[in-house]
Structure formats: C-alpha cells, structure tokens
Amino acid sequence: MCSNWDSVSWHAPCRRKPPSCSARRGGKVSAVETDDGRMLPAELVGYGIGVIPNGELAAAAGLDVHNGIRVDETLLTEDPAISAIGDAVNFPSPYCASTIRLESVQNAVDQARTVAARLVGKPAPFTALPWFWTDQGDLKLQIAGLLDGHDQTVLIGEAESKHMSVLCFRLGRLIAADEASAPGFDLKAYEAATRPAA
C-alpha cells in the first residue's frame, strides 16, 4: 500500500484554528510531555486514528461481515431484501483491485442514490468516483479518486501554500487528485480522467 506523504498532507501546513496542532518536518522525537508536566523519554510515538465498522446487527441477521458488511456492486447484501451503504460497508469498487470500505459523507450519499435508484426500478452498479472533502481551518481539502498505489506525483502550485494540487499517477495514468483550496477543482474532469477501462 502506498502512503500519501507526498500528497497534500505532506505539502500543506496545518492551518487549524485555534492552533492546537501543528505539523513539522524533520527532527526526531526524544520525549513526550504529559499534561501534568512529566517528561517521558521516547524514541518513537505511535498514534492510531480509525474506525471499526459496526457490523454486529448485520452479523446477527446472518449477513457476511468481514471488515464491514459485504455487498455486491449494486450494494445488495447476500439477502436480496437488504441493502447496505456508508461507512460500515465493504464493497467492490472499479477504482481498486479489491473490495474497499470508505469513510466519507460523499460516499454514503452517492451509495444512497444508487440504492434509491434500484428500489425505484433503475438498477445500476455503484461506480461513483470516490470524492472526499473536508474543511480544515481555512483550507478546503478535496480528494478525487483513490491515492493508494500511486507511483508518481505532480505538484501544481506552491508547496506549503494554501492553494495547490497534487496529481497522483500509477503507471502513467492519473488515479487521483489531492487538492487544497484549489480554485480549478473539477470533479467531472477527474471522473473522466480516472475512469477505469471497462
């Protein structure tokens, strides 16, 4: 798996307000200071941020739950009466080689549209381009596509500035765009550019 250290998260300064966090490059950790003033020697600090999908109800209903509720490309579980969408769902995506679970508002909304269309007689596979956005301080961060597996990046704009794009390529093909307050963000163009071959 590829990290996105060379994408926007690497180039963008942390601009949260109030400045309760800051991002620094270089240097080495030598100690951790606790809130009661103790200084604990440390060579390495590990932290974890993540989620565990809440699949107990689905499992109790007899559904396949493995890193989320397993669904097919139309977001249907193995029970034809039960669809599943959102953070808790492990689904096949044309944008990655295996199944994936995505945690974003846009993914949940796009998946809801796909299921709603099927329920009114317009079945179609879920193929929406993964698109993430978040407002962090005065930055609007957006990612179109999936960054994992990129082997080349192209920075457009100034590193460490408020406006920049990092285009991520795999084997010469655009797979994702990672942007900070980029005025030219064009989801439709990225949809067309990153669409996997049929």
Ligand X SMILES: Cc1cc2nc3c(=O)[nH]c(=O)nc-3n(C[C@H](O)[C@H](O)[C@H](O)COP(=O)(O)OP(=O)(O)OC[C@H]3O[C@@H](n4cnc5c(N)ncnc54)[C@H](O)[C@@H]3O)c2cc1C
Question: Which residues make up the interface to ligand X (CB under 6 A)?
Answer: 54, 57, 86-87, 103-106, 108, 132, 134
Specify the residue, 72 or 87, whose C-beta has the smaller distance to ligand X. Answer: 87
Q: Which residue is nearest to ligand X (CB)?
A: 86
CB of 106 to ligand X, least distance (A): 6
Could you tell me which of 60, 64, 148, 135 has the C-alpha nearest to residue 105? 135
Specify the residue, 43 or 56, whose C-beta has the smaller distance to ligand X. Answer: 56
Q: Which two tokens stand for residue 132?
A: 């993430």
CB of 136 to ligand X, least distance (A): 8
Q: Which two tokens stand for residue 86?
A: 């959102």
Specify the residue, 40 or 49, whose C-beta has the smaller distance to ligand X. Answer: 49
Could you tell me which of 158, 181, 141 has the C-alpha nearest to residue 4? 141
CB of 172 to ligand X, least distance (A): 29
Specify the residue, 130 or 194, whose C-beta has the smaller distance to ligand X. Answer: 130
- CA 141 and chain centroid, separation: 11
Specify the residue, 75 or 166, whose C-beta has the smaller distance to ligand X. Answer: 75
Question: Residue 114's CB: how many other CB atoms inside 10 A?
Answer: 22
- Torsions phi, psi for 18 (to 5 deg): -70, 160
CB of 139 to ligand X, least distance (A): 11
Please, are residues 20 and 14 in contact by the beta-carbon 8 Å criterion?
no
Q: How far is it, in rounded angstroms, from Cα 149 to Cα 138?
A: 29
CB of 80 to ligand X, least distance (A): 21
